[in-house]
A and B are shown apart, each in its own frame.
Chain A
Amino acid sequence: MNQPLLVTATQKAGPKVTLAVGGVILALLIVLPLLSLLSPDNALHVSAYTLTLVGKILCYAIVALALDLVWGYAGLLSLGHGLFFALGGYAMGMYLMRQAAGDGLPAFMTFLSWSELPWYWTGTSSFLWAMCLVVLAPGLLALVFGFFAFRSRIKGVYFSIMTQALTFAGMLLFFRNETGFGGNNGFTNFRTILGFGITEPGTRAVLFLATVLLLVASLFIGWRLAQSKFGRVLTALRDAENRLMFCGYDPRGFKLFVWVLSAVLCGLAGALYVPQVGIINPSEMSPTNSIEAAVWVALGGRGTLIGPLLGAGVVNGMKSWFTVAFPEYWLFFLGALFIVVTLYLPKGVIGLLKKRGEQ
């Protein structure tokens, strides 16, 4: 794992080129929701389907970036990031369900003939509290899990297996009707967010822009971290934890910080995903989702900041085309892709591009 950081990669490829490409993509992402507001007759009109699809991919890109912070930099491969994503999504979903239900109970509770809200639904009709939950639920879970895992010095494949088990346990828990999160079906049939219709083109455009903003903010945070001494300590931790300890650094604090940060970013991405896609259910916590996120990062290039974004974009773009064209073969293709990347592109697409740039 000798990937140089993004910083060195871009310095070699020419920062101007990277910035220019980034600027063009950013401009496109800002124009896209505006085009969706045009009347459907206009040639430049962007359909709601396209906007939602791109918005969804952007949310995934944030997850990929968050996963890369812990995997690419700190060397902690999490196979449970889907859990943090789903928790953020559920927190947002609680608010949306309360909005849809008005003064009554959410529909699924009436269906279960419950007469009052469970205690943990308290205050979820307030948007602000729901936003707090979006941060707190994944953040606190990551803090507690990370604290014990890092204190016991669990690393490598054992850590990955435990995160995988954690998201699986979460899925089983949320599948139960008694848990109070809509069981199998999860939350759907959302109507309004902050009083605005959730399917309105304007609301969609704003949600899309918020996603772009979160992505840019995450990228900025990641960039600042990678540039700081903190980022170098993480890389050092990944490559030689013992050496770092004998240098006088306590790895636990560093791991915990980046781990919780990553979980919170995932939660925020989940919270933006749910109103755009219109549904959240326990299958978001299924282990395969988390593994897919690892594939995005590996494909794009670990330990770089642009790589995971590229990976999430490419894989999800292919997925939406493949599942329409050859629905049965998508999972085989995904598996094959992972094998090819592992064997031939250990540094991901970014590594390939960089090599080209040097030649």
Chain B
Amino acid sequence: MRVTASAEFMLEPAFFPVEPNKDEGTSRDSIGLGQRVGPGLDTRHGTILTLEDISVSFDGFRALNNLNLYIGVGELRCIIGPNGAGKTTLMDVITGKTRPSHGKAWFGETLDLTQMSEVQIAQSGIGRKFQKPTVFEALSVFENLELAQKTDKSVWASLRARLSGEQKDRISEVLETIRLTTSVNRQAGLLSHGQKQFLEIGMLLMQDPQLLLLDEPVAGMTDAETEFTAELFKSLAGKHSLMVVEHDMGFVGSIADHVTVLHQGSVLAEGSLEQVQDNERVIEVYLGR
């Protein structure tokens, strides 16, 4: 499914008409150490993430095997698959933690993810939530969100940073969304597991990325929290693109319009949840009979 990009779909103006005489890679050149990239992510063809023929091997073991994956602008994609199918490796490749041995990875049309550092990738608009909730435990909830905020993240800027009223409003807005307003001054390390999950999601929201990668976001959440997360993600889709790795089929069913099944490092099946669930091979390797 490829969604055509339109301006009201994104928080940032995603569709940035590039003059034909401008050479490719302009937005990539504008990324420097400690600077954020401008809003000009080029998604002319409606795909925010393009992975083609990606392979990763660790000591001969092929974690990803000629994988092809396209994620459309504003799409909410779920990735499922048995353990060891390469789901986390896939996220590592997209965020620059692992380099593919071959293949192409494009963010938008012009950003080559295989050539960028983790920090550059994060700054250009890809946010990631880890499998184990990872927040800054010694800092308060407010400070966690403050650090994640989309802003100039260089050393100098951090030395002189002051929060503007607008930024404070944004933080309270996100606090409201993740239902942590009453814990705003609590140390993040003292939060419950589920609250930490929400705080990490909140940090992603503050970062305001165009593509969110979420690794098992509802692990350890109560049913009510899971339900709430599903609502939250559905409301985010459209404005942002989301890629969710999840084992909880109930959760997947409640949010996904499009599901990709990974098996042994490549795509086994793709389609709506019903289509995938009816697929013979998927039943064989993953869902069980």
A→B interface (CB under 8 Å): 1-5, 225, 228-230, 232-233, 235-236, 238-240, 242-250, 253-254, 257, 303
Contacts and interface: CB of A to CB of B under 8 A. Distances in A.
Interface of B: 33-34, 36, 95, 117-119, 122-123, 127-128, 130, 134-139, 143, 146-148, 150, 153-155, 158-161, 187, 189, 203, 207
Contacts of A233: 147, 158
Contact of B134 (A1, A228, A238, A243): A243
B169 to A, nearest CB: 18
B217 to A, nearest CB: 15
Nearest to B124: A248
B139 to A, nearest CB: 6
Given A240-B135, A250-B34, A253-B33, A229 B123 contact: no
A245 B120 CA distance: 9
A3 B138 CA distance: 6
Contact of A247 (B154, B155, B203): B203
A232 B122 contact: no
Given A4-B138, A239-B136, A243-B134, 20 more contacts: A2-B189, A4-B187, A228-B159, A229-B146, A229-B161, A230-B155, A230-B159, A232-B139, A235-B136, A238-B138, A240-B134, A243-B130, A244-B136, A245-B122, A246-B122, A246-B128, A247-B122, A249-B147, A250-B33, A253-B155
A228 B163 CA distance: 11
Contact of A245 (B33, B118, B187): B118
27 contacts: A3-B138, A4-B138, A228-B161, A230-B161, A232-B136, A236-B136, A236-B139, A236-B147, A239-B137, A240-B135, A240-B136, A243-B130, A245-B119, A246-B122, A246-B128, A247-B148, A248-B36, A248-B122, A248-B153, A250-B33, A250-B153, A250-B154, A253-B33, A253-B34, A253-B154, A253-B155, A303-B138
Contacts of A253: 33-34, 154-155
A243 B138 contact: no
Contacts of B137: 2, 239-240
Q: Which 8 A-B pairs have the closest CB atoms?
A: A248-B122, A229-B161, A236-B136, A248-B123, A230-B158, A253-B155, A243-B134, A250-B119
Contact of B136 (A5, A228, A243, A303): A243
B49 to A, nearest CB: 16
Contacts of B34: 250, 253
Given A229-B161, A248-B119, A242 B134 contact: yes
Nearest to B160: A228
Nearest to B190: A2
B113 to A, nearest CB: 14
A247 B207 contact: yes
B154 to A, nearest CB: 7
Contacts of A247: 122, 147-148, 153, 203, 207
Nearest to B33: A250
B138 A2 contact: yes
A241 to B, nearest CB: 10
A253 B148 CA distance: 17
A5 B187 CA distance: 11
Nearest to B150: A248
B136 A248 contact: no
Contacts of A250: 33-34, 117, 119, 153-154
Contacts of A1: 138
Nearest to B148: A247
Contacts of A303: 138
A229 B138 contact: no
A219 B137 CA distance: 25
